Amino acid sequence: MPLRKGFSAIEALLAFGIFTVVASAVLTVALGATTDEQRQGRMLQARAFAVEGLEAARSIRDHRFLDLAVGDHGLTAGGGAWAFSGTQETVGGYTRKVQVGPVYRLAGGTGALAEATDAGASIDPSSRYVTAAVSWLTLSGPQSVTLTTLLTQWSLKRWLHDVTADFTAGRRNSLQVTVTDDGELQLAAEGNWAAAVSAHTVDIGGVEDASDCTVDPVADVLYVATDARGSGRPELYGYDLADISATTTALYAVATAEIGEDANGLAVQAAHAYFATSQNGQEMMVARLSDGVQLSSWNTPGTNANANDVTASGTVAYLVTDADGGDPEFFAIDITTPASLPGTPLGTAEIGFNSNAVALSADGRFAYVATDGNSEEVVIVRLADYAVVQQLNIGGNGNASDVLAVGNRLYVVKRQDSGAEFYVYDATVPGAIPTSPLSVAELDTNALQVAVEGRYAFVATDAGSRELVAIDLGTLAQSNVNLAGSSTVNSVCAYGAFAYAISRANGAEVTAVRGGATATFAPRGTFTSAPFDTQTSTTAYTTLQWSRQGTGTVQFLLRTADTAAHLAAARWAGVDGTASAPYTVPGQTVTLDPGASGARWIQLRAYLQTFDPTVAPVLEDVSVFYDF
């Protein structure tokens, strides 16, 4: 059989197929190797981009730790230094985001690392978590690389109150320094009103009576109004309470204002004083507290009746007057601009009787008016439309002289008649007070004004031997206080362990009365630190930290200024830059008053409060962290 030469067509096709398969495999291997090499290259490049992000954050930390602001950032390099810019940046197809987050630790932010939800965890003001996340797109989908580190600023400075000497250097109202550990602050163990003592008196001078008072708890100031005292003599005095204690030797005036008229009622709101007066055409007068200048006055339209009382909340003042025919006795006044009051009231209500006092409900939706009405001793006005929604018959024939709303309780005192002079009502529904009181007390004298602090009510009277009566709200037990030289206390205020009797006694128009030592605690108190100089005008504050024990609340306000002299008049500020939002959680970022003159000098004020006199909060230490 002859030999065949060459390939048949079938053989050729088979050979080509084998070649194609082998070539494809070789090509796939080659392409795969190239793709893996590219993928690894892009991954290395992305990782380098992320590492650069962490190094940039570290450089920012080294330059100024405070620039490591919590949040998402992009990066820019200019002037030889890294800086954050925007929330991310894209370079060569890679998008990089540097995320800065807080670090939580135990022991007031200085101990072991912790989660935010761990008990006792606080923000460490000198540390930040930094994550550099780099993402890019490939044919197979999105890819990413994430690197994280913890950066610490070891040079962050700290202003610390921790030991007895730190706390005794400051000023205290109704607080005590204890030494359970190495020095702490606690509410004073005072409040035995059966053993009350007159701790301090103030001689305003002259023979004019002191008429009304109010306490500004933020400023720690007692404001006292008087009858007209003649040219060059003020009718308003503000007394510093920041350092009042059993050993305080005097109360010092820190503010005065002259209005030239009898001040029948007084309210303080947003650095201004509002007076109810007997002057026709000027029934409400306004003075600025910072310099005592009388700014403006307001005329009750259509009536010449004397104004008896005023209260203020937000941008509205509420004024009540004697009855004058069919004209209103209740006025709501816009005080948005205290120096220029609009002549037309926001609203009015006709009470129908002499209106002696006014108070606002806890929710601010209703006003309570104490009147001379025989069966309408308290009239309730709805502030949404100034309609009279209820008239409360207290009983008896004595005129209601004062009314006070605290939480879900309404307190009413009246002049003496055959029944009680002190009443407590349930104000849970402020516009619909039950007609039956929760409790009553007979004082057998004219009750002129009432204040409530903690579990005690304090009643000003005209009884010569017990001008001030302290009533235990739990038991209704009465403790009588006889003030030397006084026959009538016109007004009473209370804060912490002290009640302040405002009287007709020449030479002792203001008397600070302190409850005796007891096993229970004062309802509240304040600590004001000594001023602190950071030594530089470029100070930038980071966070406020503190440690505490016990039961109750601990809150703080701060103030700063460029000089020690300016600090004394600076405004207190909390987390939003105003006094209305104090620091309540350790580790909160410090926000300064936008109007502060500077940041070199700083001062802090702590507010301690308990709602159960058998327990109290204990402040162990407090720190302000800062940098330059």
- pLDDT tens for 381-436 read 999 999 999 999 998 888 999 999 999 999 999 999 878 999 999 999 999 999 99
In this structure, the answer to whether residues 167 and 141 fall within a common structural domain is no
Q: What tokens appear for 390 in the block?
A: 């209820």
pLDDT at 561: 97
Q: How many whole angstroms separate alpha carbon 551 and alpha carbon 540?
A: 33
pLDDT at 26: 46
pLDDT at 585 over 80: yes
Element containing residue 334 per DSSP (H, E)? strand 330-334
pLDDT at 222 over 50: yes
In this structure, the answer to whether residues 330 and 429 fall within a common structural domain is yes
pLDDT at 508: 86
pLDDT at 249: 59
pLDDT at 454: 93
204, β-bridge pairs: none
Q: Of the residues 153, 178, 201, which one is the last residue of a structural domain?
A: 153
pLDDT at 20: 59
Position 18 in a domain: no
The count of domains in the chain is: 3
pLDDT-based confidence at 484, cuts 50/70/90?
Answer: confident
Average pLDDT over residues 361-372: 96
Average pLDDT over residues 479-504: 90
Position 7 in a domain: no
Q: Of the residues 101, 134, 153, which one is the last residue of a structural domain?
A: 153
Q: What is the pLDDT of residues 236-262, one digit of tens each?
A: 999 999 988 766 657 888 899 999 999
The proportion of the chain whose per-residue pLDDT surpasses 90, expressed as a percent, equals: 70
pLDDT at 216: 95
Average pLDDT over residues 179-196: 88
pLDDT at 18: 60
In this structure, the answer to whether residues 265 and 357 fall within a common structural domain is yes
pLDDT at 4: 46
Give the chain's end-to-end CA distance (angstroms, integer).
105
Element containing residue 441 per DSSP (H, E)? strand 439-441
Q: Of the residues 482, 517, 552, which one is the last residue of a structural domain?
A: 517
pLDDT at 282: 95
In this structure, the answer to whether residues 145 and 218 fall within a common structural domain is no
Average pLDDT over residues 613-620: 94
- Per residue, what are the HEC states of 196-243? EEEEEEECCCCCCCEEEEEEECCCCEEEEEECCCCCCCCCEEEEECCC
In this structure, the answer to whether residues 172 and 247 fall within a common structural domain is no
Position 542 in a domain: yes
pLDDT-based confidence at 12, cuts 50/70/90?
Answer: low
In this structure, the answer to whether residues 208 and 291 fall within a common structural domain is yes
In this structure, the answer to whether residues 485 and 555 fall within a common structural domain is no
In this structure, the answer to whether residues 84 and 51 fall within a common structural domain is yes
pLDDT at 14: 61
pLDDT at 512: 92
pLDDT at 32 over 70: no
In this structure, the answer to whether residues 86 and 232 fall within a common structural domain is no
Q: How many whole angstroms separate alpha carbon 439 and alpha carbon 465?
A: 25
Q: Taking CA 503 as the corner, what is the angle to CA 500 and CA 505, rounded to the nearest 5 degrees?
A: 125
pLDDT at 31: 44
Position 123 in a domain: yes
pLDDT-based confidence at 1, cuts 50/70/90?
Answer: very low
Q: What is the pLDDT of residues 325-343, one digit of tens each?
A: 889 999 999 999 999 999 9
pLDDT-based confidence at 197, cuts 50/70/90?
Answer: confident
pLDDT at 139 over 90: no
Average pLDDT over residues 136-146: 90
In this structure, the answer to whether residues 252 and 393 fall within a common structural domain is yes
Those residues whose C-beta lies under 8 Å from the C-beta of residue 119, and which sit 6 or more positions away, are: none
pLDDT-based confidence at 205, cuts 50/70/90?
Answer: confident
Choose from 115-119, 244-248, 393-397, 437-441 the range with maximum mean pLDDT: 437-441
pLDDT-based confidence at 191, cuts 50/70/90?
Answer: confident
84, β-bridge pairs: 75
Q: How many whole angstroms separate alpha carbon 612 and alpha carbon 521?
A: 8
pLDDT at 16: 58
Query: Whole domain around residue 177: which residue ranges?
Result: 158-186+524-627
Contact between 84 and 61 under an 8 Å Cβ cutoff? The reply is no
Contact between 143 and 42 under an 8 Å Cβ cutoff? The reply is yes
pLDDT at 30: 45
Average pLDDT over residues 595-612: 96
pLDDT-based confidence at 37, cuts 50/70/90?
Answer: confident
CATH code where residue 439 lies: 2.130.10.10
Position 396 in a domain: yes
Largest CA distance in the chain: 153
Average pLDDT over residues 480-492: 86
Average pLDDT over residues 586-603: 95
pLDDT at 540 over 80: yes
Position 4 in a domain: no
Answer with the residue of higher pLDDT: 64 or 96.
96
Q: What tokens appear for 212 in the block?
A: 């009304």
Position 21 in a domain: no
Position 14 in a domain: no
Q: How many whole angstroms separate alpha carbon 224 and alpha carbon 204?
A: 10
What's this model's pTM, rounded to 2 decimal places? Answer: 0.80
Q: How many whole angstroms separate alpha carbon 221 and alpha carbon 290?
A: 13
For residue 30, give the amino acid letter.
Answer: A
Choose from 156-165, 306-315, 485-494 the range with maximum mean pLDDT: 306-315
In this structure, the answer to whether residues 208 and 181 fall within a common structural domain is no
What are phi and psi for residue 557, nearest 5 degrees? Answer: -130, 155
In this structure, the answer to whether residues 233 and 316 fall within a common structural domain is yes
pLDDT-based confidence at 150, cuts 50/70/90?
Answer: very high
Average pLDDT over residues 314-323: 97
Q: Residues 325, 326, 332, 333: is their CA dihedral positive or negative?
A: negative
* Average pLDDT of the chain to the nearest whole number: 90
